[in-house]
Chain A
Amino acid sequence: GAVVSQHPSRVICKSGTSVKIECRSLDFQATTMFWYRQFPKQSLMLMATSNEGSKATYEQGVEKDKFLINHASLTLSTLTVTSAHPEDSSFYICSAPDRNTEAFFGQGTRLTVV
């Protein structure tokens, strides 16, 4: 079945640095991908829609200058958390819809900012 690979699975970074998270669709092309964030003991919240070849669409309350999204190819979207702070520590997960079937989720990235 369709697979979405997310990398890295865990990352620890220092406050003020930037972190890039990759989301790849391995055996299908995805013109759209979605990024979610999950704080401990909470549900997943949609952050943004990544669109291949155009700007991402951000949900209300998500800072687009802080969470940079690039969808440079039909199989890769990246989320860069810029100038990360401890409050950005969270579980980030992407999904990519295979248009003929359903959306497939990556394994998630646990970001810890120290």
Chain B
Amino acid sequence: SQQGEEDPQALSIQEGENATMNCSYKTSINNLQWYRQNSGRGLVHLILIRSNEREKHSGRLRVTLDTSKKSSSLLITASRAADTASYFCATDYSGTYKYIFGTGTRLKVLA
């Protein structure tokens, strides 16, 4: 299976703290995306990072990509209770936007 692994599987932090989630994948990618999913809901796109990029920012989110290690990380700074959700990385190996999702990290931010 090409499914990526994410760690931790679950993370519980206090509001205001930073949350870091990691994603490892198996073969070379074209691009990688991070998504958020609230319980029982659809996906919310967070950030797309391409294979020739190393870091991207969007508001309180920072994504890094290390293609030599086949890994990516998502950092959420100054977390809020509303950030409580599951976070998934999704990798595109072929450049066709056919994504393989990682196992996900369940984040709980305590108020």
Q: How many chain-A residues does the 8 Å CB contact rule pick out?
A: 21
Interface of A is mostly: strand
Q: How many chain-B residues does the 8 Å CB contact rule pick out?
A: 22
- Cα(A46)–Cα(B97), bound, Å: 12
Q: Which residues of B contact A105 (CB under 8 A)?
A: 35, 42-43, 45
Known A102-B33, A110-B40; contact A43-B101, beta-carbon cutoff 8 A: yes
For residue A77, CB closer than 8 A to chain B, the reply is: no
Kindly name the residue among A32, A42, A93, A103 whose own CB sees the greatest number of chain B CB atoms within 10 A.
Answer: A103
* Contact A108–B42 (Cβ < 8 Å): yes
* Contact B99–A46 (Cβ < 8 Å): yes
The chain B residue with its CB closest to the CB of A30 is B97
Q: Which of B79-107 contact A (CB under 8 A)?
A: 88, 90, 92, 96-104
* Contact A32–B96 (Cβ < 8 Å): yes
22 contacts between A and B (CB under 8 A): A32-B96, A32-B98, A43-B102, A43-B103, A43-B104, A44-B43, A46-B100, A91-B40, A93-B43, A95-B97, A95-B99, A97-B97, A102-B31, A102-B33, A102-B97, A103-B97, A105-B42, A105-B45, A106-B42, A108-B41, A108-B42, A110-B40
A-side residues, CB < 8 A to B, are 32, 34, 36, 42-46, 49, 91, 93, 95, 97, 102-108, 110
Please name 12 further chain A to chain B contacts, defined as beta carbons within 8 Å, in addition to the given A44-B43, A93-B42, A105-B35, sorted by A numbering: A34-B97, A34-B98, A34-B99, A36-B101, A42-B104, A44-B90, A46-B99, A49-B98, A102-B45, A102-B48, A103-B33, A105-B45
